[in-house]
Amino acid sequence: MAFLEVKNLKVHFPVRGGLFNRKIDAVKAVDGVSFTIEQGKTYGLVGESGSGKTTTGRAIIGLNKITAGQVIFEGQGLTGKSSRVQKDVQMIFQDPYSSLNPRKRVLDLIAEPLRNYEKLTKQDELEQVIQLLKKVGLSQDSIWKYPHEFSGGQRQRIGIARAIALKPKLIIADEPVSALDVSVQAQVLNFMQEIQEELNLTYLFISHDLGIVKHMSDRIGIMYKGRFVEEGTTGEIFNSPQHIYTKRLVAAIPDIDPKKRSLQKHLRQEVQSEYKRSYHDYFDEQGHVYDLRNISDSHLAALPEKG
Amino acid sequence: ACSDEDAGAEVEGKDDAEKGESAQDEVFSIDDFEQIKTNQGEAIEGGTLNFGLVSDTAFEGTLNFNFYSGNPDAQVISWFDESLLDVDENYAYTNDGAATLDVDREAKTITFKIRDNVNWHDGEPVTAEDWQFAYEVIGHPDYDGIRYGSDFTIIKGMEAYHNGKADTISGIEVIDEKTMKITYDTFTPSLLSSGIWSYAMPKHIFKDIPVADMSSSPEVREHPIGMGPFKVDSIVPGESVTFVKNEDYWRGEPNLDGVTLKVINPNVVVQALENGEVDLVDSFPTDQYPENADMSNVEFVGDVDLAYTYIGFKLGKWDADAGEVVPDPDAKMADVDLRRAMWHAVDNDAVGKKFYNGLRWNASTLIPPSHPDYHDDSIEAPTYDPDKANQLLDDAGYEDVNGDGIREDKDGNELVINFASMSGGDTAEPLAQYYIQAWEAVGLKVELLDGRLQEFNTFYDRVEADDPEIDIYQGAWSVGYDVNPAGLYGRDAAFNYTRYASEENDALLQEGVSEKAFDEAYRQDVYSKWQELMVEEIPVFPTVYRAVIIPVNNRVQNYAVDFKEGVGIYRYQLAVTQEEAVTAE
Amino acid sequence: MADTLLEVKHLNTSFRINDNYYAAVDDVSLTVNKNEVLAIVGESGSGKSALAFSIMGLHNRAKIEGGIFFKQQDLVGLPKSKLNKLRGDELSMIFQDPLTALNPLMNIEDQIGETILLHHKKLSRKKRKERVIDLLNQVGIPRPEQICEQFPHQLSGGMRQRVIIAIAIANNPELLIADEPTTALDVTIQAQILDLIQDLKESMHTGIILITHDLGVVAEMADRVAVMYAGQIVELADVHTLFEKPLHPYTRSLLHSVPNEGQDKLHVIQGIVPSLQHLPRQGCRFAERIPWLDGSAHEENPELHEVKPDHFVRCTCYRHFHFPAEREGWTHGIS
Amino acid sequence: MAELQAGATGRQEKSPSALKIMWRELARDKVALISFIFLLMVTVFVYGISLFLNQDEIVAVDLFEIHQPPTGEFWLGTDYGGRDVFGQLIIGTRNSLSIGILVTLMTGIIGVLYGLISGYFGGTVDNIMMRIVDFFLILPFLMIVIVFLAIVPKYDIFSFSLIMTSFLWMGIARLIRSKALQERELDYAQASKSLGTPEWKIMFSQVLPNLSSLIIVTMTLNLAANIGLESGLSFLGFGFPESTPSLGTLLGYARNPQTLEFRWWIWVPAAVLIFVLMLSVRNVGEALKRASDSRQRRG
Amino acid sequence: MWKFIVRRLFITMPQVLLLSVLVFLMAQMMPGDALSGQIDPNIDPAAIEAQREKLGLNDPWYVQYVDWVGSALHGDLGQSFRHKMPVTDLIGQRLANSFWLAVATLILTYLIAIPLGIISGRYNDTLRDQLITGYTYIGFATPLFIFALVSLWVFGFKLEWFPTGGSVAPGLEPGTFPYIVSKLQHLLLPALSMALITTVNTVQYLRSEIIDTKQKDFIITARAKGAPESRVYHRHILRNSLLPLAAFLGFEITGLIGGTIFVETIYSYPGMGLLFMDSITLRDYSVVTSVVLLLGVVSILGVLLSDIILSMVDPRIRIK
Ligand SMILES: Nc1ncnc2c1ncn2[C@@H]1O[C@H](COP(=O)(O)OP(=O)(O)OP(=O)(O)O)[C@@H](O)[C@H]1O
Ligand SMILES: Nc1ncnc2c1ncn2[C@@H]1O[C@H](COP(=O)(O)OP(=O)(O)OP(=O)(O)O)[C@@H](O)[C@H]1O
Ligand SMILES: [Mg+2]
Ligand SMILES: [Mg+2]
């Protein structure tokens, strides 16, 4: 039994218009996505802007209505109407500035999930919150402060404290560091790794920064226009990308070594021309992505049947 | 006569900074006013007169005597059309008008003869058929005006025609082009004091228009014609009308070249007079008089108004099926001593002096002095005397049993009298307040219905419907030319809002229109008795009589207040002594 | 130097906050040559944009002191009219946010055309349109005729950024300032835009100031790099030196905090970038973020030293700095 | 633990609450501060003094004191019923303020609830609710209120306010709804949702407080408008009887040209008072607005 | 474009329908009818009752409503009981007057608001701006009716610069030059006093809009292109700031309707506002109904117009 299994997930948003504001079209934000995540591992979800990463994450946690498909968490379906948010699945948001209500004190922020699910006395609650703060490395006098008194990295830690308050098993981290400066990013990424070990957490790590995903993930799924183009271990994706889109993505990452720059540029141009040349080999007539096919046991790519 | 008089009327004017206390305390009397504008100086040939129609609403523009309903329209019409019959100062018909009449009391007929030189503005002669046509229109089932009333129903065959059972009115007979004879079912003295419909309608113009469409036809609204001294030249609907003289007017060619009539808001009337924008107006707000009494460029003329204000006591109900009033002996106000005490409790003399600077004054009987031959001022009506009021109430058993300063009713129960009064004039509110306070001073608890003044229509709706919430009310009647009060106080009069009736009253009212009453002295005596009866019984008590005041520019000659009947001055004689109006210094 | 295009000398740009002036750019000196990309890196709030805006004369109410010499002409205090002749022509800028930098009510043709019109008043309408289409082709926008008629909201982010670039290069500028031109874009598009800028430099020998906080971009693009911290340049060197032998603690920390091959833990710089009002104005500004270094390690008035030819470093603390392994991680409360 | 709390509360470096920020901004802006103090004084004075004033006595008609200019006895003279204008001014101000405040509160409550519900449910419910708002918004407000006032036979301050409220709540409802919709999509609301907080709780305990400054500002500005509206209606004669004077009643007397020209003491004080009141409320409102918009904050 | 207009019209329909039901029911609830005002001792009450019957005043409300809607669709709004003429004709005259008043007011409003708003926004926090802001504060704090009353008194009575009532001097031939001049003269003062007060909102709105736009990034872009200040203002700031005013127009019209009640009453200007006030006191409910209905429809159309204008000038919502 897989820890989290997403089966053929579809999330469509209606586009309203016409005379009576009827649904005239749909944005297929996520259109048939399947993957599984193993416990204790980090699954990276990459793709360009608008490819449906966030929507996938939000659908799993129940913030977006699922149009079709299933999300099975520890053998239990989270699909359909019972989109009740599970204690076991929590989320870390992208922007630590806007994801904390500026009018609430840290105590109230962190205690919020506790108050929703656990009936604790004031004293117990306070103790728990202080424990959580310790865990995320904030001093206990922080509880009376307001979010704006913290730096971005510290805020993100408050966000994490909230997310782990209910001792979840799966955390969906939607671009947890993209709003942060490089120096602060490191802080948060390190902490996420530490806490993963400590609490045996599983991450669904969403980002468009391949470097970070590579750093964090065990497995990676590449999304394009609401579908997966490729899925595999980090090594497979970076060392032997199969789909042209993946190749292009990998090639586009600027290398930190200035000496390799002409090499990089060369590679990029090559991939680019290949992309142009063989576009129709990788996408069907309408420009849609094919279904995933196994390349190896762990490696899947959306290649046409013929090979 | 139209009677939608406001109960309150207007603010009395007051001291401005310069005039100080003097203007405030100044009390005027209608006796000091001339009725006719006399003027030295030579009248010039022609000239245009500017007439102000004082109204805060636009005139409605139903410009035909047979259809109009509001006073502003009547003011407009009277410049270009007129009654075929003239009356004297007591509103009895004379033979000085465009038509003469010949009464045959035995046969219950009157024969009318229109003078030969009486023509419509378009040159067509005014004929007997035109007059008959007016009757036919008003009596017509499709007629949408409000004129069809007792003037008509007493004509022989009118009912049948009105109900569509006859094509013609059998009682109206055209003898020749200029002669018409009307036969009446009943023949009363009232008939001869302005009880005849005396306005013809140009049949040659209206004959093809369905009766239902007449009132909105362009012939009424846009280019109306009449037989009066001036002709309509142009109309700005609701705002102004210009007239030019009718050279063919039967009494003679008018002096003026024309008249410009325009509506002016009561708020601006003083300014308009001062700068000569208007020479005279149809009515001047009395409250603005004291400050402007010595406006240098006008002369104020005045007259007693055909109206009185009164307090009415609800004494019964209206039985619509039977068409008569049913007095209720158990009504809250049924005790005449209570009513008399309430009359004694109020100081109408002070009200007249303080609120109206003497331009309204204490009233005594229900026939106002505008009918000098009938108004009996020898009758002693109750006057302000709170002690007497207290005495009366004590004696009648309205005592303050619980010591709260408020009298209880005879059984010792709480007595609250509900008082309805209508909004309208500027003084309406303080006046109503004053009465309530005055009654409270003699221990009567009177409360304003709903805590506020009633808007005109609501007020009459509720009074008319005998709303049980109303015990007393303040109203005003404008009285017709005919002195007969049966329309207001008769047993079968719907307008008898107090729902008072008594045998004695019935008898006197009957007597007033009896055969005998054709004798003037007898009729005077009857109505004198009736006035006295009303002072005894007090279904209502009159509070104040009123004056009309009209400012007239110094250049204007030959003006009488509203061209009052019987003074022998007519509109065609109006003249001015200079081209431009005199302006104030 | 003949091909020095821009020389900034002791530039101070201060903003007024509550009746006090605070320098966001503090004593910055640098030069840009023709056909050269000078990259400016630094954390958010380090004064990169403030510097760029100062050069362009785009600050509204800032106090600017020092000298900005563009082809020997001092731009500081230059009358608006003269400045306007330069801006958009010889001197131009690419803005960071493609979503807001275009007028939503003007079509693309007019927006690009405006720059041309302003500097080539005589050009006929037709010629202008030709040039606009030319530019759109140059920045790689397909179907330029059609795009001309469109409005910004009808374009994707990448397209808009290209339009902004087209505006900036419309008059073949000699100096191009690109303020984080790709931050808002996806990597694939970023790569295209960077290539585009590179091509520009090569074809027109433009001097370019490239502002970014992405070290990868720096490594790909720059000839020389200036590292800014808290309004000051803390290190300035050519790109290879900087990536191979960085000296200033800040530079070194930055390079270490980027995920890299085989790295397990990322390096964390303690503390936060102080806000403008709370900048330490005395001594080494980076001192409080490396508290384990003794105060004596810092200079009292840190200056930019030329430690090797064309390699400048501020403060002497770099000599004492080494990565304290035990302090790595994130377990530091708020200081 | 006790020690901890003590230590924690010892460092009560709270984020300034909305009210505190507002107060700070107010204190900084001299004009607004003066306006605020003035308003406070007027309110206290008017409500305080009217406790001691006998309304019945003031509105009692006195035939012998009609149209007195200001004297020692009648500070602002008397009107055409011989009634003390000063007393009427006090009572009138109280009534106008009461109506203004009542209408503002009621529109505020209805508008906020309506807006929140509409924004909270979204979708079809929101669509329908907003169509209703749109409909109310395009009604010729003044005319309809006048018609209603003509229909209702008897009204007191409360029902009068209710009638005004029925046609005035939409502005704030729309505002709150659009803000609520925006807030609802913000990360912090989404975050709370993902933490299992029910949506209505997010709305009321998180979104609403975040909108509080906006609500306060809007209501302050509305207060001025409502006072103006009430006096306008009274001026047109669709207010209260003279025995329940409002500022508009006194102003209405000025429609009589004699009063307008010669008896300034009846209407000028009311006009000035209305002017100063509205100006003050406005000043305070604008200062609060600046406070709530950090971009415009002065310090 | 057409699709959009049609769509907007579809949304408008139920609004109009709802409006008609509302105003009709309102009129029905009014105590009394036109005939209850005809209190004349000489008139037979039975005749009045017969009139009521004939005019359908005794039918149940829905019958009256359907009748009324039916004929309204044929352009027949019924008969004014008071004026004895078709309401359509009655309104026709007044509507023209109010229309011109509204047009004059709108022109004056924008004539005042746009320059003031621009100056105030462009030079914000200077003395000029403070003066203009001062004016907006004063304008806000001065109720329209006080201002109109005082201006009538000062400019009408004391200085006699303007006529004090009516819409045109009597006796002039419609269409002639003096007639038009007189019309203008009569509406100038009411329009001006309304404009001076109501414009303050627009001034303020424009001011803050300009200040907002000034801080937008694309303005910096424009400056970076080397555009001189004047061009930046005219081409970029003004255009973008004036655009939202189009959306304002609709509500401006709704606001004007309220204003006309005061102004027309005070200046005795025979327009819809005065007609409304007259009719409500006279219980001429077919007129009240029609006036409210008509002005409601005008408001609806005003908003519609705004939307259409906006959709034409704003490419972001322009319909393909
Ligand atoms: N609530 C919504 N209503 C309508 N469309 C939506 C909604 N949320 C997302 N979309 C659309 O769905 C698509 C996928 O969006 P999503 O946010 O999942 O992308 P993403 O990969 O997370 O992109 P980014 O990297 O920019 O965060 C986009 O086209 C977006 O416009
Ligand atoms: N107009 C201004 N008024 C006041 N302070 C300002 C202004 N513009 C910038 N600052 C401040 O100056 C400092 C430098 O800002 P700047 O925008 O140059 O940073 P940056 O390096 O470009 O950062 P980022 O990477 O976020 O764009 C910051 O602290 C900023 O808050
Ligand atoms: Mg996303
Ligand atoms: Mg920047």
| Interface chains of chain C (3 or more CB pairs under 8 Å) | A, E
Same domain, A163 and A50: yes
Distance between Cα A179 and ligand 3 center (Å): 12
B184: Cβ contacts below 8 Å, ≥ 6 apart:
B108, B109, B110, B154, B155, B156, B171, B191
Instruction: Give the end-to-end CA distance of chain E in Å, rounded to a whole number.
Output: 7
| Residue numbers in D near A95 (CB within 8 A) | 187
> What is the distance between the terminal CA atoms of chain C, rounded to a whole angstrom?
47
Least-confidence region, from A230-234, B135-139, C157-161: C157-161
Average pLDDT over residues C293-298: 79
pLDDT of residue A20: 56
Backbone angles phi, psi at A24, to 5 degrees: -110, -15
- Atom nearest to C273 CA in ligand 2: 29
> Which residue lies with its CA nearest to atom 31 of ligand 1?
A50
User: Tell me, what's the pLDDT at A233?
Assistant: 93
Residues A127 and A145 in one domain: yes
Range 284-313 of E in CB contact (< 8 A) with D? 288, 291-292, 295-296, 299-300, 302-303
Q: Which of C60, C103, C111, C180 to mutate against chain E (most E CBs within 10 Å)?
A: C103
- Kindly tell me if the per-residue pLDDT of D85 is higher than 60: yes
pLDDT range class, residue B419, cuts 50, 70, 90 = very high
Q: Which pLDDT does position B493 carry in this prediction?
A: 82
Examine the domain organization and report whether A236 and A246 are in the same domain.
Answer: no
Does the pLDDT at position E144 exceed 50?
yes
Question: Which residue's C-alpha comes closest to atom 17 of ligand 2?
Answer: C49
In this structure, are A31 and A50 located in the same domain? yes
Check pLDDT > 70 for residue C183: yes
Q: Are residues A249 and A229 in the same domain?
A: no
CATH for the E93-317 domain, from 2.40.30.10, 1.10.3720.10, 2.40.30.170, 3.20.20.30 = 1.10.3720.10
- Check whether residue A277 and residue A198 sit in a common domain: no
Taking CB atoms and an 8 Å cutoff, what residues of chain A touch C189?
48
C4-222 is classed CATH 3.40.30.10: no
**Structure token digits, residue E65:** 């409503």
Instruction: Pick the last residue of a domain from A217, A240, A263.
Output: A240
Q: Ligand 2: which residue has its CA nearest to atom 14?
A: C47
Q: Is the CB of A9 under 6 A from ligand 1?
A: no
pLDDT reported for residue D62 = 75
Q: In 3D, which of D188, D13, C270 has the Cα closest to residue A143?
A: D13
Nearest Cβ partner for D251 among E22, E146, E291: E146
pLDDT > 90: what percent of chain A? 21
pLDDT tens digits for range B100-129 = 999 998 889 999 999 999 999 999 999 999
Question: Residue C160 C-alpha to ligand 2 middle, in angstroms?
Answer: 24
B299-303, C30-34, D270-274, E74-78: the lowest-pLDDT one = E74-78
- Residue B173: its pLDDT value, please? 92
Q: Looking at the predicted structure, is the pLDDT value of residue D5 above 50?
A: no
Same domain? For A223 and A251 the reply is no
Residue B230, strand partner residues: B245
CB D106 within 8 A of CB D160: no
Residues A57 and A112 in one domain: yes
Measure D176 CA to ligand 1 centroid, in angstroms: 26
Across the interface, do C56 and E316 touch by the CB < 8 Å criterion? Answer: no
Please give the backbone phi and psi of residue C67, each rounded to the nearest 5 degrees, phi first: -130, 140
Closest alpha carbon to D111 in D166, D167, D163, D172:
D172
Average pLDDT over residues E208-232: 89
Q: Do residues A299 and A242 touch, judged by C-beta distance below 8 A?
A: yes
Burial track A109-128 (b if 16+ CB lie within 10 A, e otherwise): bbbbbbbbeeeeeeeebbeb
Dihedral over Cα of D187, D188, D190, D194: its sign: positive
Identify the band that residue C10 occupies on the pLDDT scale cut at 50, 70 and 90.
very high
Calculate how far, in angstroms, residue B395's C-alpha sits from the geometric centre of ligand 4: 99
Number of domains in chain A: 2
Given a cut of 80, whether residue B283 has pLDDT beyond it is yes
- Determine whether the shortest distance from the Cβ of C158 to ligand 2 is under 6 A: no
Per DSSP bridges, beta strands B48-54 and B36-37 are unpaired
Report A:248-307 residues touching C (Cβ under 8 A).
Answer: 248-249, 251-259, 261, 264-265, 268
Residues 6 or more apart in contact with residue B394 via CB below 8 angstroms = none
* Chain D residue with the nearest C-alpha to that of A102: D210
**Using CA atoms, how far apart are residues D109 and D172, in angstroms rounded to an integer?**
9
Residue recorded with tokens 């090499």: A263
Q: DSSP per residue over A16-53, as a string?
A: EETTTTEEEEEEEEEEEEEEEE-TT-EEEEEESTTSSH
Q: Is E31 on the interface with D (CB under 8 A)?
A: yes
CB contact, 8 Å: A126 with chain C? no
Q: Tell me which chain A residue has its CA closest to the CA of residue C190.
A: A252
CB of C15 shorter than 6 A to ligand 2: yes
Asked if the model's pLDDT at residue D6 lies above 60, the reply is no
pLDDT tens digit sequence for B235-282 = 888 788 999 999 999 999 999 999 999 888 887 888 888 888 899 998
Q: Where are the domains of chain E?
A: 2-86, 93-317
Tell which atom from ligand 1 comes closest to the C-alpha of A11: 12
User: Could you tell me the distance, in angstroms and rounded to a whole number, from the CA of residue A156 to the centre of ligand 3?
Assistant: 17
Considering only CB atoms, which chain D residues are within 8 Å of A145? 13, 15
Domain boundaries, chain C: 4-222, 228-319
Domain encompassing residue A91: 4-240
Nearest-CB residue to B426 (from D153, D256, D263): D256
- Which ligand is closest to the CA of C50, given by its number? 2
Segment C89-93 shows an average pLDDT of 91
Q: Which residue of C has its CA nearest to A152?
A: C272
Residue-level pLDDT at B105: 86
Pairwise CB contact (< 8 Å): C220 & A154: no
Distance of alpha carbon B178 from the chain centroid: 32
pLDDT of C214 higher than 70? yes
Q: A219: domain CATH number?
A: 3.40.50.300
Return the residue matching tokens 């030059």: E177
Query: How far, in Å, CA of B473 to CA of B421, rounded?
Result: 6
Domain boundary (A188, A221, A240) is at A240
Number of C-beta neighbours around residue B22 at 10 A:
10
Which residue in B291, B355, B452 is closest to D262 by CB distance? B291
The pick from A15, A54, A61, A213 for probing ligand 1's pocket by mutation, whose C-beta has the most ligand atoms within 8 angstroms, reads: A54
Q: What is the pLDDT at residue E51? A: 66
**Lowest mean pLDDT: which of B36-45, B336-345, B426-435?**
B36-45
pLDDT band at A306 (very low <50, low <70, confident <90, very high): low
Whether residues A229 and A274 fall in one domain: no
The band of A17, judged by pLDDT with boundaries at 50, 70 and 90, is: low
Tally the C-alpha atoms within 13 A of residue D106's C-alpha that lie toward its C-beta.
19
Q: Is the ipTM of this complex over 0.85?
A: no
Strand-strand pairing, A202-206 and A42-47: parallel
User: Which pTM value belongs to this model?
Assistant: 0.81
Ligand 1 centre from B329 Cα, in Å?
85
- Chain A residues whose beta carbon lies within 8 Å of the beta carbon of residue D188: 98-102
H/E stretch holding A61 reads: helix A53-61
CA distances from D14 to C275, C334, D18, D216, E43 (A): 20, 16, 11, 21, 80
